[in-house]
Structure 1
Amino acid sequence: MTDPAHDAETLRERALTTLTTARARTTLLTSCVEDPDLTAQHSPLMSPLVWDLAHIGNQEEQWLLRTVAGREAMRPEIDGIYDAFEHPRAERPSLPLLPPTEARHYAAEVRGRVLDLLESTAFHGTRLTEAGFAFGMIAQHEQQHDETMLITHQLRKGPQALHAPDPEPAPLLTGPSEVLVPGGLFTMGTSTEPWALDNERPAHVREVPAFHIDTTPVTNAAYQAFIEDGGYDDDRWWTAGGWAHIRQHSIHAPLFWRRDGKQWLRRRFGVTEVVPPDEPVLHVCWYEADAYARWAGRRLPTEAEWEKAARHDPAGDRSMRYPWGDADPAPEHANLGQRHLRPAPAGSYPEGESPLGVRQLIGDVWEWTASDFLPYPGFQAFPYKEYSEVFFGPEHKVLRGGSFAVDAVACRGTFRNWDYPIRRQIFSGFRTARSAGDV
């Protein structure tokens, strides 16, 4: 029989570890530049870094201290300022934001009280406290904003402020370029993952016909071939919306790329470098991914196909938590957590491949899918509609798998991300697929 006290202590330790890991990363992202860079808006697409910092603290206070613990508000007058739905990002610099020192103090004071609360919370009784869900939700929220702040650092002009070692070189991948995923039923989503968010639920059975999927994400070298073949100048490969978008904005290559003679250069966190041919392509929008796939005689995988490739274990006829099994991600499995500041070469992490041999489904780059962001059958918004429900519809496309900028707490085989098909500042790439009957 399982010892309930041991379970509670295990959950408490997991919550403490994930909250601490997130805060260390937040501190790094907001301490590596001077205050003027924290208060500046580096792109109208992004908030000032100092807004994210105080928003993290405000959400933590609202959900853990007020909702879970029932305590009085510490700073009720700032709730509206840090309401992401009340103020679009482009407007946030004009708000009376807490200055950096005050924002740091507020976030730290909230965290101190939360850690005291964590020691006494029983992990049962309500949906918010069951298995420590509320603490996991807040850790995921902070890590998601850390990824957002990392995007802001990429958009920021100026010298390099962040440093991290590069991934290890990958041995030459000698296997097939694509893998056949057999057709049939599989269980998509989850009803058992304790910290899964509402749009990942509930588990339900899907039937997916057999299909082929790329063994690795599409590389820079492969994408350059599309460019050199005139891919951006041929409307055959683009949807009407995509063609109009790239024409209107004079897009001819991934974001942050520029041609220098016969080679391509890119800017990455303040450093200009030659585009590495063997890395997964990064900073492409859905329209670009879709056009490349058409040019290559293929297509983007549907969200169901992607998840089946990432979770289906043919031998056990079951859905796993991750491509490699049910164990939490370790460094040998995937490139996660801002451990590096770039994707690893295609073919990396053989210990993280799926039973069918598909690699890098978790980490490295978010992967665009063909699917709109829609609710699963039986979906119920929890704990608030604004996390997922208000975004459902054809305006948003689903991305899967996470990137090097995603922490493991916010990345699972069931985790769903979404964005507009024009978005390129995010750490997005893709892989392609084809139906089994297609040549």
Structure 2
Amino acid sequence: MTTTAEPLGSGDLRAELANRLERARNRTLALTDYDDGELVKQHSPLMSPLVWDLAHVGSQEELWLVRDVGGRLPLRCDIDEMYDAFQHSRSSRPSLPLLSPTESRQYIAEVRDKALDILDRTPLEGKPLLENGFAFGMIVQHEQQHAETMLATHQLRDGERILPETPLPDTRGLAELPAEVLVPAGPFTMGTSIERWALDNERPAHVLDLAAYWIDTTPVTNGEYQQFMEAGGYDNAAWWHPDGWQHRNETGLHAPKYWHRTDGNWVRKRFGAVEPVPADEPVQHVCWYEADAYARWAGRRLPTEAEWEKAARYDPDSGRSRRYPWGDEDPAPDHANLGGAALRPAPAGSYPDGASARGVRQLIGDVWEWVSSDFEPYPGFNVFPYEEYSQVFFGPDYKVLRGGSWATDPAAARATFRNWDYPIRRQIFAGFRTARDASLSESA
């Protein structure tokens, strides 16, 4: 079994990287094109002020592209520590002497000018940081990840909606879908050794042999989750991990984040607007403990990370692992709900063209999906290009999320991409699907 390398595509790699850098920057600027008061305010202690993210993406670009790749003199070495995510907690960042919105925009523009000049002059081969433009691709992903972080901040802010919303096309298939799909027993290749901009925790490719299992065809919906709530799921310790039950009692969890009852009906706050909870959308803003409790209540479980990836990538006809559920081509609008314009997940069952070889839908986009696994290195893991990207997070404190959300850019939505967070996190755009073991007769 083999994986397929990402094709370089038509056109010049430099032009492709320049285009991706521009797309990421345009998104950053669009998410910070608001009153300075909105940018410098901390809308929640869970998140940084938007102005911190604005300058931080420039700081990382300066460190990696201007100084490291380009060997240029620093523009602003005086702010390195202030925009180092490991030096200051999110809750403490408003107390720092942050660059103003105007200064931040000027700074990231100056950095970008130098980075593009370096891109024009630098061989995109040889050293690991330069091979296939890895450092530039890494910075694209970093900025797009912060765009998603900024969307989470926008969701936490009070006041009316200030973000534009693009309606989703109705891409649901007309046929009724099965509730679950059988993934047969056998080996598959997990991870990658050849995807050009894959990060260290996605590497190396390795073969795993899994027992047969069933996995939900679509993510769990709001309507299905409400059944758990109405059955007293939040009040029965039997369904909860012990740590989750303690967290539920300490924090008063009783519904997904941003939900509340009005006149006996569940409504939600979504980017400043209050609206009825749509029953057919994948549930989001639930923590790992909530997802795990629902799965237990339903007589099922969360899939392991390997089960999730096999369902997403394994092609039984060819015996190899695809780049994406639908194949090897980059995501297109008919494959998945990505990029952030919709401000919401698509209804469950959407995007038939994005289904996996086994018919599992919406594995990419819509909601990050909690899996049962802790965040651990793959066999043969090597740190690259720095320990703080992955290695310092390995261990039982973090749970893995897979697949990306509606807010994720395609640059960070590979089927091998691994996200992770504390099991209590709810401000992220996370949901889940469930799985169960297959019996011997089913797996035969």
TM-score after normalising by structure 2 = 0.96
Cα pair 1:173 1:347 within 8 Å, conserved: no
Q: SS in structure 1 opposite 2:388?
A: coil
Residue 92 (structure 1) aligns with? 93
Deviations 1:19-56 (A, max 9, x none): 1110010011000x200110011111100000001000
Closer, same or farther: CA 256–172 of 1 in aligned 2, 3 Å: farther
CA apart distance, 1:10: 2.5
Partner of 1:403: 405
Cα RMSD between the aligned structures? 1.3
- Could you say which residue in structure 1 is the equivalent of 2:3? none
Within 5 Å, which residues of 2 pair with 1:273-352? 273-352=275-354
Matched with 1:162 is 163
- For the 8 Å contact 1:172–1:347, the answer to whether it is kept is no
Deviation readout 1:325-364 (Å, 9 max, x if unpaired): 0000000000001131100000000000001000000000
Q: In structure 2, which of residues 375, 381, 385 is the aligned counterpart of residue 383 of structure 1?
A: 385
Superposed CA offset, 1:231-273 (max 9, x none)? 0001110011001101111110000000113310000000000
CA offset digits 1:94-143 (Å, max 9, x no partner): 00100000000000111111111111221112000000000000000000
Using the alignment, how far apart are the partners of 1:175 and 1:137 within structure 2? 38
Structure 2 CA distance for aligned equivalents of residues 72 and 265 of structure 1: 53
Gap change, CA 1:173 and 1:347, over 3 Å in 2: farther
Measured in 1, the distance between the counterparts of 2:423 and 2:12 equals 40
Distance in 2 separating the partners of 1:113 and 1:210 = 52
Q: Specify which of 420, 423, 444 is matched with residue 421 of structure 1.
A: 423
Post-superposition offset of 1:171: 4.5
In structure 2, the residue matched to 1:115 is: 116
Aligned pairs for 1:45-60 (under 5 A) are: 45-60=46-61
Aligned residues of 2:284 and 2:429 also touching (Cα < 8 A): yes
Partner of 2:263: 261
> Given residue 214 of structure 1, which amino acid in structure 2 is its aligned partner?
D
Structure 1 match to 2:241 = 239
Instruction: Tell me what 1:195 maps to.
Output: 197
For the 8 Å contact 1:8–1:122, the answer to whether it is kept is: no
8 Å Cα contact 2:59-2:83 kept in structure 1: yes
Match of 2:31 in 1: 29
Q: Name 1:183's counterpart in structure 2.
A: 185
- Deviation, structure 1 residue 168: 2.4
SS at match of 1:386: helix
User: Take 2:133 and 2:405, find their aligned partners in 1: how far apart are those partners?
Assistant: 25
Aligned length: 433
- Compute the displacement of 1:8 (Å): 10
Alignment partner, residue 70 of structure 1: 71
Deviation at 1:167, TM superposition (A): 1.4
In structure 1, what is the equivalent of residue 5 of structure 2? Answer: none
Cα displacement (A) at 1:166: 2.3
Deviations 1:164-194 (A, max 9, x none): 2221233455021100001110000000000
Correspondence for 1:362: 364
* 2:143 alignment counterpart: 142
Over 6 Å off, 4+ runs: none
Per mean C-alpha deviation after superposition, the further-off stretch among 111-120 and 371-380 is 111-120
Question: Who is 2:232 aligned against?
Answer: 230
| Aligned-residue offset at 1:409 | 0.5
User: Are the equivalent residues in 2 in contact too, given 1:349–1:360 (CA < 8 A)?
Assistant: yes
> Shift of the alpha carbon at 1:9?
5.5
For the 8 Å contact 2:173–2:352, the answer to whether it is kept is: no
